[in-house]
Amino acid sequence: MNKEALAEKDEAFMDLACRLAARGRGNTKPNPMVGAVLVRRGNAFSTGYHRRPGAPHAEVVAMEGAKQDVAGATLYVNLEPCAHHGRTPPCVDLILAKKIRRVVIGTKDTNPLVNGRSIAALRRKGVEVTYGVLEEKCRRLNETFFKHVETNKPFVTLKAALTLDGKIASATGESQWISCPASRRKVHKLRSIVDAILVGVETVLHDDPQLTVREIRGAANPCRVVMDSRLRVPMTARVLEGSAETLLATTDRAPKRKIRQLESKGIRVEVFRPDRSGKVPLGRLLSRLGKRGMQHVLLEGGSGIYTTALKAGEVDKLLLFVAPLLLGGKEAPSLFDGIGFSSPKKALAVRDLRWRRSDRDLMLEAYCSGPGTPASGQTRSTGNRT
């Protein structure tokens, strides 16, 4: 087989490994999503994926489940196999024991416990290793895992519903409902796989949200995090109800009595030294959430926290539901308020913009680049289905 044909085959089987890995979405944390495919003479004969922490890794599932001898076969896996003992033995040892001839890897595992060690170990034992196949796709698949292991901070997705003129609420603060039911269901599905939902206290005061997963049967609720520099949250707020864990991030300017009152209800209160504006420092809060093992935080509002996060460069991904409405009004809050950038050249750029319909709404997904960074990647439609 010539190099071009082999590369084409490698990409096809790696794509299959990625699709298998995605079956574990929302169930594998703190582990990444991994899929594996065993191939002989151009045909896949066994597959596997990682289902949950403590369960066999994808490579093990594929090798142990094969109905024929795997010696001499090629193993495709979207993430570098583990080389260390965790809840399960190292996959590298089993690959060597089973005499796999070639291993094709999508991307390195940048966890310091791995980070190329498996590739080196396999090559030392004479196993042919190819890595970097569909690497961008493989990294995107586990983008929250990579952000966390590389920075100790969670991946942040900013979700917002807004009108065609960019308003996220009316001048009176009313925002229920800008998005349609189909869009709200998508948000609940996203809530079911994140570790935390982060909002500012203004959102709690205006909307009194529950911040729970209600439209996905059997899904667990993420931790609810409220930034409230002076603890203005009412004791009757629905976000304080016991249906999910709640963490209030405040400053040392908050009333001590209110802190004790909240803690007596089982609410966790984290106290920070205020930033220059007297508010909870978002960067330090995210670092603290990362240290607690949270890989993915969903930022749900409002305008103040959106603006703070965007200007601080703390947003990794945008998920915007644009409704066919015009609210108008100078006082109506927008997605990005306050003092903006002085020119388009200095604006916050987005890249890899994708869009599709969500019933009556338009759902936009994009990644954030730094201020003044030219947007890259192509805008592309992923279809018009809801």
Between CA 337 and CA 167 the distance in angstroms is: 10
Q: What pLDDT is recorded for position 380?
A: 42
Name the strand (E) or helix (H) holding 318: strand 317-323
Are the C-beta atoms of residues 293 and 150 closer than 8 Å to each other? Answer: no
pLDDT value for 385: 34
Q: Which letter, b or e, does each residue of 148-160 get, where b requires 16 or more Cβ atoms within 10 Å of its Cβ?
A: bbeeebbbbbbbb
List alpha helices for the chain, DSSP H. Answer: 3-21, 58-64, 91-97, 117-124, 135-141, 143-151, 181-191, 201-207, 256-264, 282-291, 303-311
Binning pLDDT at 50, 70 and 90, where does residue 381 land?
Answer: very low
- DSSP conformation class of 223: E
The span from the CA of 231 to the CA of 233, in Å, is 5
In 223-352, where does DSSP find H-type helix?
Answer: 256-264, 282-291, 303-311
Per the listing, tokens 């495709």 go with 76
**How do residues 351-362 score in pLDDT, each as one tens digit?**
999 999 999 999
* The pLDDT of residue 10: 92
pLDDT of residue 5: 79
pLDDT tens-digit profile of 44-90?
Answer: 999 999 999 989 999 999 999 999 999 999 999 999 998 866 666 78
**Catalytic residue numbers, as ranges:** 59
- Give the pLDDT confidence score for residue 382 in this predicted structure: 43
Give pairs for 141-144: CB < 8 Å, separation 24+. 141/18, 141/21, 141/22, 141/33, 141/78, 142/32, 142/33, 142/78, 142/79, 143/316, 143/317, 144/295, 144/296
pLDDT of residue 384: 38
Checking if the pLDDT of 137 tops 50, the result is yes
Q: Which of 44-53, 68-77, 114-123, 278-287 has the lowest mean pLDDT?
A: 114-123
Greater pLDDT, 384 or 157: 157
Q: What is the pLDDT of residue 36?
A: 97
Tokens 């945008």 correspond to 318
Q: Average the pLDDT over 220-229 and give the result.
A: 95
In sequence order, the 6+-apart residues with CB closer than 8 A to the CB of 148 are: 154, 155, 290, 294, 295
Residue 289 is predicted with a pLDDT of 97
For range 134-146, the mean pLDDT = 96
pTM of the model: 0.89
Percent of all residues in the chain with a pLDDT value above 90, rounded to a whole number: 71
Could you give the CA distance from residue 363 to residue 360 in angstroms, rounded to a whole number?
Answer: 10
Strand order in the sheet with 128-131: 43-49, 35-40, 74-79, 102-107, 128-131
Is the separation of the CB atoms in 369 and 358 below 8 Å?
no
C-alpha distance from residue 252 to each of 98, 168, 274, 279 (Å) = 58, 30, 7, 10
Domain boundaries, the chain: 3-142, 152-381
> What is the residue-averaged pLDDT of the chain?
89
Residue 376: is its pLDDT beyond 70?
A: no
Q: What is the pLDDT of residues 244-258, one digit of tens each?
A: 999 999 999 999 999
User: What's the DSSP call for residue 384?
Assistant: S
Which DSSP string do the residues of 279-306 spell out, in sequence order? S--HHHHHHHHHHTT--EEEEEE-HHHH
- Mean per-residue pLDDT, 364-368: 94
Contact of 167 with 302, CB cutoff 8 Å: no
Residue 3's pLDDT band, with cuts at 50, 70 and 90, is confident
> In 3D, which of 116, 126, 124 has the Cα closest to residue 79?
116
Please state which CATH number belongs to domain 152-381. Answer: 3.40.430.10
Homologous superfamily, domain 3-142: Cytidine Deaminase, domain 2 (3.40.140.10)
* Average pLDDT rounded to a whole number, residues 203-211: 91
pLDDT score at 371: 56
Query: Could you tell me where the beta strands, DSSP code E, fall in 191-281?
Result: 196-200, 223-227, 246-251, 268-272
Beta bridge partners of 43: 40
Statement: residue 279 has pLDDT above 90:
yes
Q: pLDDT at position 87, please? A: 67
Beta bridge partners of 163: 323
- Look up residue 381 and give its two tokens: 């439609």
- Average pLDDT on 277-303 reads 94
Give residue 346's pLDDT: 80
